[in-house]
Amino acid sequence: MSDASTTPTSTAANTAANTAVKSGGAAAATLIRLSQVGKTYYRGKEAVEVLKNLDLEMPDGAFEALMGPSGSGKSTLLNLIAGLDNVTSGSIQISGVDLSRMSEGERAKWRSQNVGFIFQTYNLMPVLTAAENVELPLLLTSLPSAERKKRALTALRVVGLEERASHRPDQLSGGQQQRVAIARAIVTDPKIIVADEPTGDLDRASADQILELLVKLNKELGKTIVMVTHDPAAAERASIVRRLDKGQLT
């Protein structure tokens, strides 16, 4: 694992580190580029600056972890990369597409085609089976029902849960529920997977299984993964670790 944490004067070194891929250090095309990004929220009339003039590049096929204390801006940065929120200033480009210029509706359409989401609390529908939960993102597409079901089963096979397709979430362990959530994240074949504390609710053994699966998705399927975590063991699985503090990379 390489650590991309930098001092404010080492931007060039940080950028150089971003162009290396795990397979051998060959240059990879930049997939994610943030330029002078700022994000401010308001509590009444009080402005709260969460991100400050942040520059960041991530190559295609990277597996990067974001670490830092609570309130450092990790989840805000993740939400911007995922198109869930928009910048206050600066720009964010994914594959050359400027998300900061999109309307909320345009970003929603872009998300459905390019981003898969993994959450700490799984966010599965309790009344649906594993296969039906995985199929949910495909309901926004024009795919026929038979093709949707086929793709859902394929995604469950990738995470090793095809035999549990007819089980509801309450019939699955925490680790199995998170694997269903990962299958749901990859069923649309997104470019990017964003994971917000994906092992936070799991015991060590289950967490390690989830992390091994994320590494597999990165290495074998070429998914670009951006993961927020407080867990050093989880961060160790990433190829690059970035540290945020008070809205800035340190």
Helix (H/G/I), strand (E/B), else coil: 213: helix
Handedness of CA 183, 111, 201, 4 (dihedral sign): positive
Helix (H/G/I), strand (E/B), else coil: 135: helix
CATH topology of domain 2-249: Rossmann fold (3.40.50)
CB 207 within 8 A of CB 197: no
CB 73 within 8 A of CB 247: yes
What mean pLDDT do residues 49-77 have? 94
Q: Where are the alpha helices (DSSP H) in 104-165?
A: 104-114, 130-135, 145-158
What mean pLDDT do residues 163-191 have? 96
- pLDDT at residue 8 is higher than 60: no
Which residue, among 213, 192, 210, has the nearest Cα to 200 in the 3D structure? 210
Indicate the DSSP class of residue 61: T
What mean pLDDT do residues 224-250 have? 94
How many residues belong to the chain? 250
197-217 residue pLDDT tens: 999 999 999 999 999 999 999
Tokens of 175: 């680790």
Predicted confidence at residue 45, as pLDDT, reads: 87
Residue 79: pLDDT band with limits 50, 70, 90 = very high
**pTM for the full model?**
0.85
91-144 residue pLDDT tens: 999 999 999 999 999 999 999 999 999 999 999 999 999 999 999 999 988 999
Domain residue limits, the chain: 2-249
Q: How many CA atoms lie within 13 A of 13 on its CB side?
A: 10
Which residues does 4 contact at the CB level (< 8 Å), separation at least 6?
14, 17, 18, 64, 240, 241, 242
40 strand-pairing partners: 49
Predicted confidence at residue 15, as pLDDT, reads: 39
